[in-house]
Chains A and B, each alone.
Chain A
Amino acid sequence: MIDIVLLTLLLVVAIAIIRMKDLFAVIMLSGIYGLLSASFFVAMDAVDVAFTEAAVGAGISTLLMLVVITMTGRSENTTRHKPFPALLLVVITGGLLIYGTLDMPYFGSADAPVHSHVAPRYINDSMQEIGIPNIVTSILASYRAFDTFGELVVIFTAGVGVLALLSIVRRPIKGDKIAAVNDSMHEQHLVIRIVTKILLPFILLFALYVQFHGDFGPGGGFQAGVIFAAAIILYAMLFGLSTARIVINQAFIQLIAATGVLLYGCVGLVSLLNGGNFFDYNFLSNDAIAGQHLGILLIEWAVGCTVASVMIIIFFNFADYRERQLSNENQHNQESP
């Protein structure tokens, strides 16, 4: 019942997103979409996915898209080309996909391959093999450690890509000018600044809680990293980029991002050197369970560090680009009359 209502709402929001021309409204609606799909995941009992969707889909991606929108402009360009061939292609592909789903087992049926192949092993044996109550974490960090490594590398590559594209034209930034812009902005934001000051330690602490609590409940490196980054981004938005850079400077955060990936790889290498397979944590310590705990702890740390710092890098670079754009415009305006 709840599922049907939520899915209908999702569909309505998706159609509204397609029909919108105002990109800003699209971002707002995609925020709603993220929240909705996260509640859907909660209703389906997929707590970890809901957690990630809340932090990433409704939080960080909205933030990043907003920054991009302020650079690109607000309204969507009208398309010139005829969309009919594309529509035909999409209809055919969609029809084939739906035809394909007819062969799939019914939703929730007990003899589906998903439920008969590896899932019973994870559910029954993970407590003995890994010794962690949250099965999702043990799958993510131990059974499927290689996949997670791939995800981490993808995130790291995204950060490197943003760095390569946006920070080429890095000039020494005129500190006082940006500080002046920021000061004028801060005069208006007294209330949120104070509330943010109260809130920031709490958010950071909560991020750490999520990081360490991943073994026992929903949470883990990805979510914790995103929450941590969101806190830093909140600070940077309200107190100015240059102030935030004093707290966390660019070189340091790049170092952290790289260190995370390196740490993850090293855990695999150490287990390899100790005579096991790549990412076989049983060999990290004398005791297999202790080795698993150590490995998962290290890997969650690595993931958290990289995710947080890559998010911060992406935001800083976008916002930096935008501030430079703004200050250029201001200069231009001052010179022209």
Chain B
Amino acid sequence: MDIVINFSSGLCLFIGSFLCVSGGIGILRFPDFYTRMHAVGVTGTLGAAMILIGLMLHSTDLLVFAKLVMILLLTLLLSPTTSHVLAKAALHNGLMPKLSQNTLEQSSLDLKSKETASSKF
């Protein structure tokens, strides 16, 4: 039983740290803001969740466990919200995604219509 718990917590921690590092590389290497946000958003949520679950498996105290669950819930609630708000604010203030040259003119039209659509929310 002990071995199973140790192994699974190690696995969770490993996946989590891998995701965190890959998110870090993503925020550095991706070409523009929206793709970077994708890197941070995806890996931030799942990576944080994995690490926290790994820690939960380690914890012996019920209070510690409860606090970890609380942090997990907070992360899962807040991180997507922040990403959503950030993307919307960037789009509203006219930051265009970087696209390949061919699709640019078409996409800028698309974006304008999207902007008017998103202001209704």
Contacts and interface: CB of A to CB of B under 8 A. Distances in A.
A and B from one complex: yes
Interface of A: 187-192, 195, 198-199
A75 B7 CA distance: 52
B4 to A, nearest CB: 31
A187 B120 CA distance: 7
A191 B119 contact: no
B1 to A, nearest CB: 31
B101 to A, nearest CB: 29
5 contacts: A187-B119, A191-B85, A192-B81, A192-B85, A199-B77
A190 B121 contact: yes
Contact of A195 (B81, B119, B120): B81
B81 A188 contact: no
A199 B121 CA distance: 21
A191 B85 CA distance: 8
Nearest to A191: B84
B88 interface: yes
Contacts, number: 21
Interface string B82-120: 001100100010000000000000000000000000011
B28 interface: no
Query: How many residues of B sit at the interface, in one of the four size bands?
Result: 10 to 19
A53 B121 CA distance: 36
Interface string B21-48: 0000000000000000000000000000
Contacts of B88: 188
Given A187-B119, A187-B121, 9 more contacts: A188-B88, A188-B121, A189-B85, A190-B121, A192-B85, A195-B77, A195-B81, A198-B77, A199-B78
A120 B100 CA distance: 67
Contacts of A199: 77-78
The SS class assigned to the A binding surface is helix
A12 B63 CA distance: 37
Contacts of B121: 187-188, 190-191
A187 B119 CA distance: 8
A56 B88 CA distance: 28
A191 B83 CA distance: 11
A77 B120 CA distance: 38
A80 B39 CA distance: 43
Contacts of A192: 81, 85
Contacts of A198: 77
A31 to B, nearest CB: 14
A219 B92 CA distance: 40
A238 to B, nearest CB: 10
A198 B78 CA distance: 11
A195 B121 CA distance: 15
Nearest to A190: B121
A188 B119 contact: yes
Contacts of B120: 187
Contacts of A189: 85
B77 to A, nearest CB: 6
